[in-house]
Structure 1
Amino acid sequence: MPLLVVLDADSTLIRNEVIELIADEVGRGAEVAAATEAAMRGEVDFATSLRTRVEALAGVPVEAFERVIARVEPTPGVRELIAAVHARGGTVGVVSGGFHEVLDHIAPGLGVDRWRANRLVVADGVLTGEVDGAIVDATTKAESLQEWAAELGLAASSTVAIGDGANDLKMMDAAGLGLAFNAKPAVRAKADLVIGEIDLAQVIPLLP
């Protein structure tokens, strides 16, 4: 049966938080990690938090992305899950509060069919510390799942959303099945099901 599975990227599709890897390039990884944790717990507005965290990336040269991409680790079981979705004639999407600059390199190799993320502003070969355009936030994530399902002619009951942070809750609520994976307590409390093990292959038996 055709289905749509939409995942968050950071700490779901991949084990890392990409913004922290980029911040490491200018020695601000720990500072950004603390702010990311607060945003994922839902303690601060995601868009406001992201803009503040991206400001900390000012001055990172674009060639640093090569080093960042080399450090990205796919989550265990991600290839098996994507293969299982494809075997059912399904589609895999990723909606990320992270960045196209990294996701564009990672997603195709994992077999992701479509993805959406933020873009960073670059001037003279370095990051300016700004996000280009509107931020991919909780609302954008939910709207992306609904938009892709409509394009594929799928009912909400044929969609699965998988995420870890507070900004994934609207997307999980919009899906037929919302799964908390590697998730913060607030997300676990509101999910349809919680995947405790850090292994995306655990999702396969739950697919509609």
Structure 2
Amino acid sequence: MTSLVLTLVARREETSLAAQSIALARDIVRTQGETVVLSPAEAVDIPCPDTARDSLPSLRAALDGQAIDILLTPADNRRKRLLISDMDSTIVANETLDDLAAHAGLGEKVAAITARSMNGELDFATSLRERVALLRGLPTSLLETAWKDVTLNPGALEMVRTMSAFGARTALVSGGFTFFTARVAALCGFDEHHANVLLMDKTTESLTGETAQPVLGPDAKLHLLETLQKSHDLPEDAALAIGDGANDLPMLRRAGLGLAFHAKPVVRQAIPAQINHASLRAALFAQGYPASAFVSD
């Protein structure tokens, strides 16, 4: 009986998904199910029995060194009806607060605090307060400067717009700032966005070094996921959450499918479903979407 689906996704820029790799995976998980091609030489689904869970370590070892992600998900209810995604280093390639600080000559100092926070070494609220305090007195025009550096990660548009086109509610949630989430949400097509609010002195057109309270941190991300599930009357397994840092862990653990995207070590240790090589397209393949169904505009 096939109760699980093994999805293999190759990083297209580095490799292709060869027939030998697919055959090896099938042999290791001992499946008789038919391989479904989601994207030629890029992604396949392989139905497999529940015992495939025990084969994952062997499969990962066998494909080690190849730019191929291995995702094992339940066969039922694969297409999620709610997407809740982190922004920095997930939807965008940037850490926007670090970029803002860099334009003020504070890049290394702020980035060091960010790294400790994302690795779970420092309480998020404390780290945010420390970093934002360093911005006190800086001109608000630096926000526009930092925005010019923001780059969407490959597959971000496809992930959000495809899920939206198939009826999912989409929410961007960030420990960063609404100045950036509002623009990224509009660019990608998210239904809503949530983040911290940077306080500004309109008289001097400068940052005060503070954020509005309460701080949006890991507990708030989890609360948003639970609130959206309840308000849209969705079952517990209907949400896809995706993120990379320690502040994403509560929502990743709670979601029906929590995906660690090019994540920090502390996140990879806690979340089994990982995208370590491929783009955000893999989040769609993990739900059984073929590339032919992707929406990018």
Give TM-score scaled by structure 2 length: 0.68
In terms of Rg, which structure is larger?
A: 2
Q: 1:98 to 1:198 in 2, by over 3 A?
A: farther
State yes or no: 1:104 paired with 2:182. Answer: yes
Deviations 1:168-190 (A, max 9, x none): 00011111111100101110111
Aligned pair partner of 1:160 in 240, 249, 252:
240
Identity of aligned residues (%): 38
Whether the aligned pair in 2 keeps the contact of 1:2 and 1:89 (CA below 8 Å) is: no
Amino acid of the structure 2 residue aligned with 1:163 = G
State yes or no: 1:14 paired with 2:92. Answer: yes
Q: CA deviation at 1:102?
A: 1.5
SS of equivalent residue, structure 2 residue 274: strand
Aligned pair partner of 1:51 in 119, 129, 141:
129
Whether the aligned pair in 2 keeps the contact of 1:13 and 1:78 (CA below 8 Å) is: yes
Q: CA deviation at 1:198?
A: 4.9
Q: Unpaired runs of 5+ in structure 1?
A: none
Question: 1:174 — aligned with what?
Answer: 254
SS of equivalent residue, structure 2 residue 138: coil
* Higher RCO (CA 8 Å, separation ≥ 6 residues): 1
State yes or no: 1:25 paired with 2:103. Answer: yes
Counting only pairs closer than 5 Å after superposition, residues 121-136 of structure 1 correspond to structure 2 as: 121-123=199-201, 124-136=204-216
Q: CA deviation at 1:207?
A: 2.4
Deviations 1:62-81 (A, max 9, x none): 12221111110011100111
Aligned pair partner of 2:148 in 64, 70, 80:
70
Residue-pair matches, total: 208
Aligned equivalents of 1:148, 1:207: Cα separation in 2: 20
The range that moved more, 79-88 or 141-150, is 79-88
Question: 1:150 — aligned with what?
Answer: 230
Q: CA deviation at 1:2?
A: 6.1
Question: 1:186 — aligned with what?
Answer: 266
Deviations 1:137-157 (A, max 9, x none): 110000001111212111120
Aligned equivalents of 2:198, 2:248: Cα separation in 1: 21
Q: Unpaired runs of 5+ in structure 2?
A: 1-78, 289-297
Whether the aligned pair in 1 keeps the contact of 2:241 and 2:259 (CA below 8 Å) is: yes
Question: 2:221 — aligned with what?
Answer: 141
Whether the aligned pair in 1 keeps the contact of 2:84 and 2:225 (CA below 8 Å) is: yes
Q: 1:138 to 1:2 in 2, by over 3 A?
A: closer
Please tell me the root mean square deviation across aligned C-alpha atoms, in Å. Answer: 1.3
SS of equivalent residue, structure 2 residue 259: strand
Aligned equivalents of 2:278, 2:212: Cα separation in 1: 32
Aligned pair partner of 1:3 in 77, 81, 102:
81
Amino acid of the structure 2 residue aligned with 1:142 = L
Which is helix-richer, 1 or 2? 1
Give TM-score scaled by structure 1 length: 0.96
Aligned pair partner of 2:158 in 80, 94, 101:
80
SS of equivalent residue, structure 2 residue 240: strand
Aligned equivalents of 2:136, 2:100: Cα separation in 1: 10
